[in-house]
Amino acid sequence: MNSTILTQPLVMLDLDGTIIDSQAGIVSSLRGSLIELGVEVEDNHDFTWCIGSSLWDIYKHYLDTSDGRRLDYAVALYREIYRSGPMFDYHVYDGIEWAMTQLVNRGYRLVLATAKAREYAAHVVASSSFASMLHHVYGSELDGTNVHKADLIAHVLRSEDVAPERAVMIGDRHHDVDGAAANRVAGIGVTYGYGHPREFTAAYAVVDRPHDLPDVIASIIASS
């Protein structure tokens, strides 16, 4: 067992809405898939709530069904559209790479923990300028395994062999902080993404800009 891993604090980062603004690609894929599925949405429809949510939950809402085959088909259709190009329609939030660099320099181990399919998240990370700062990419599997953040975070803790008190989870939606709380991990909600501060009832801390993250994380780890 590697004692360095055991003592090195772990920082789990969500992707969409935390490291990158990927709304354009996600929304165009959702809209395109819904058109194919015969679902009409208004031109100014707000898809913000979908970002960070399970694709199965999203289509359960729009298709008004719990039929597994119908939902699996919708998810597959979305993924076909998404991986054809929209997955790379994103930009990195100002200040987040600086914050990640500071965390690495302070000795933290950074991993991605996203509900996005791991396969697609890995492609996005590989195309980015922050790839070298991430030790590993964790995400959901194509069959839906670990699509819920509580399950994913539990998987990350086991895989990284890190105690909950030596880890933090950073994300812009309630899924992130709720999933962290379910695993006794300190969750940090960020307000510059797609969520709203009222979502973060289970958060240990809430920050408004990436530049605040290194000191907030240091304070949490020091108090553990």
Q: What are the φ/ψ torsions at residue 26 (nearest 5 degrees)?
A: -65, -45
- 14 as an active site residue: the answer is yes
Strand pairing of 136-140 and 109-117? parallel
Nearest alpha carbon to residue 167 among 148, 150, 182, 187:
187
Rounded Cα distance, 139 and 121, in Å: 7
CA–CA–CA angle 145, 127, 72 (5° rounding): 30
* Catalytic entry in 14, 16, 172, 178: 14
Closest C-alpha to 185, from 207, 201, 206, 163 = 163
Instruction: Quickly count: other Cβ atoms within 10 Å of residue 57's Cβ.
Output: 12
Using only C-alpha atoms, what is the Rg of the chain?
A: 17
Torsion from C-alpha of 27, 28, 31, 32, nearest 10 degrees: -150
Catalytic residue annotation: 14
